[in-house]
Amino acid sequence: MASKKPLILISNDDGITAPGIRTLVKVMKRIGEVVVVAPNGPQSGMGHAITVGNTLRLDKSTAFTDVEAYECSGTPADCVKLAKHHVLKDRQPDLVVSGINHGSNSSISVLYSGTMSAAIEAAIEGLPAIGFSLCDYGHEADFSHTEPYVEQIVRQALAHGVPVNTALNVNIPKNSTKPIAGIKVCRQAHARWQEEFDERMDPNNRRYFWMTGNFVNPDKGEDTDEWALAHNYISVVPCQYDLTAYHTIAQINNEWQLEGEPIPTEKAPD
C-alpha cells in the first residue's frame, strides 16, 4: 500500500505570480500534496507585519491550475495564519515552505524578510518550516539550478524533522558557470545595512526620501552564512523566534539596581 503523501503548504512575499513560487510549487509537487496561500501582490520587506484593524481578503487563485491555491490581501504572516486556521483548519501541514525569494535573505535581512516571516510564523504555530531565497536581484533571475537543492533539503526535513520552534533560512547563490560548492549549516553573520536617505522633491514640490545604502559585514568568521555564500555554498541557518538575550540576564540582575524603593524624581513645576 502506497504511503500517504506529505501535505506541504507554500507561501512567499513576492506574490502568488512570482517566478520563485512557481519553481517551489514545481519541486514540491514531486514530493507531496501542495496547497498555496500567498499574497496577491508583492510584500517584500514587510517583516512579520500582520493585518490589524483592516479587512483581510482570501480568494481562490487562478495562478495555478494543478494545485489548490489561494491569494490573500495581507502579509506573508497573514497568509500562514489564514492557511492554518481557515484553509487547512481540519488538516495539519507536514511542512511549510516559503519562497523562493527573489534576492538574498542572509544575515540581518532575515528580520526584514517577508519570506522568512512566513516561515517563522509557521514555527510559531508549531509547524516545521523552511524559507528559501535566491541571491539574485536581476529581473531575469534564473531559478532552475535551485531545484535539486530545494528538493534535497525538503526531503531531509521531512525525513528527519525540523527542530521544534525553529525555521530554516536557506540562501542559494545565483546561477553561474561556477558550480555550487555544497551546503553548509551556518550561523547568521553579525552584519547590517548602513542606510542613507536621499532627499528629493516630487513634481508638486513636496519633499520625500528614497532609502539607499550598503551592506556592511565586519564579521570575518568562516562559519557564517555570508562566508558560505561568498564561497558559493548554499547556507542553511536555523532561526528561532525567541529573541531573549539569555547571556545578559545574569549581568543585568547582578549590575543593575532594580530592587527596593523607586528612585525619587523631581516634582514637575506648577
Q: Per the annotation, where are the binding residues for a divalent metal cation? A: 13-14, 44, 101
HEC states along the chain? CCCCCCEEEEECCCCCCCHHHHHHHHHHCCCCEEEEEEECCCCCCCCCCCCCCCCCCEEECCCCCCCEEEEECCCHHHHHHHHHHHHCCCCCCCEEEEEEEECCCCCCHHHHCHHHHHHHHHHHCCCCEEEEEEECCCCCCCCHHHHHHHHHHHHHHHHHCCCCCEEEEEEEECCCCCCCCEEEECECCCCEEEEEEEEEECCCCCEEEEEEEEEECCCCCCCEHHHHHHCCEEEEEEEECCCCCHHHHHHHHHHCCCCCCCCCCCCCCC
d(CA 90, CA 232): 42
**Phi, psi values for residue 191, rounded to 5°:** -135, 170
Residues tagged in the binding site annotation: 13-14, 44, 101
